[in-house]
Structure 1
């Protein structure tokens, strides 16, 4: 059986359109501000890299996962960990789901529609 390699995920979420809440969200995501239990949980789940980008009230998360990453297992572990539940509760005060999110959904996956690596070579390259 072939082992799956690392994989990139692009996830989207909105912040509430409130300057004070957006600044609070940014403060919580500065280096050293995220609780160590949250960082440890992310790393232990098989997430190799994670970055969050912001434009206005829109967030884009880029996440690289290793071959052992299981989103369902990560969700179950998070739901059973009081420190992660407290973090998610805090973050939920500042976040709002995308308009097309199902009830209870937060970060939604974006569909990749272009990759330069998939394009044919151009003569002279």
Structure 2
């Protein structure tokens, strides 16, 4: 099992943030989007919000690949429609690579590794 932590900002607009929250409430994302997440090898996903900053926690099978998920998503019109809609709410972090939406975080501390 692998764990990933990714970050993204929302546009600074209370109405957009409220709408984004509604779209992510139980039953909000289209079934095709949820199915694509599960089919990719992701076993658990959570998104947390603090102000405009989002943090996504992803648990995935050992063979999971973001590149393979992106390729599968690109071939799915329903997932691409969802992503296009989400673009209206989201903005990349200032230090994100060109074209990068969710930016991976680097783990710098683990309690289990401490003496």
TM-score category (smaller protein) = over 0.9
Query: In the alignment, what sits opposite 2:51?
Result: 56
Q: Which runs of 4+ in 1 moved over 6 A?
A: none
Query: In the alignment, what sits opposite 2:21?
Result: 26
TM-aligned CA deviation for residue 103 of structure 1? 2.2
Question: TM-score, normalising length from structure 1?
Answer: 0.90
What are the Cα deviations for residues 49-72 of structure 1, in whole angstroms up to 9, with x where unaligned? 000000000000000011221211
What are the Cα deviations for residues 6-26 of structure 1, in whole angstroms up to 9, with x where unaligned? 011000000000000000000
Q: How many equivalent pairs are there?
A: 115
TM-aligned CA deviation for residue 80 of structure 1? 1.1
Gaps of 5+ in 2: none
The within-5 A match list for 1:62-81 is 62-81=57-76
SS at match of 2:17: helix
TM-aligned CA deviation for residue 73 of structure 1? 0.8
What are the Cα deviations for residues 54-109 of structure 1, in whole angstroms up to 9, with x where unaligned? 00000000000112212111010111110010000000000000001122110000
Question: TM-score, normalising length from structure 2?
Answer: 0.98
Q: Distance in 2 between matches of 1:16 and 1:119?
A: 38
